Amino acid sequence: MSDITEHIMAGDHDDDLDTIIDAVRSRGKYLDTVTHRTIQIGDTVRFNDQASPKYMVGLTATVVGKSRTKVDVELEEGVGKFEGGVPINTPMAIIDLEK
């Protein structure tokens, strides 16, 4: 656990919790925006631990489309209800760009 997390858990920043929560949410939205701008059609992405259903975690896919807030991806190998090679419209928060 990081030092900041330990301090929060210990109650050192109780008076600032609302401000900390707002800052974390704002940072998350910013990172989603940056990631969305960075991801291009043809890029390979990996489903992260926020993906649902959980069997999607770790699977790789290719970006085949992009809208304002989501991307369309095709899995390298079909799985579960995503067997047919049909693009999956997914939020940015559940994928990471492969480097």
61 C-beta neighbours (distance < 10 Å), count: 24
Per-residue model confidence as pLDDT tens digits over 4-60: 889 899 999 999 999 999 888 888 777 766 666 788 999 999 999 999 999 999 999
Buried b / exposed e along 24-47 (16+ C-beta atoms within 10 A):
eeeeeeeeeeebeeebeeebebbb
CATH class of 40-99: mainly beta
pTM over 0.75: no
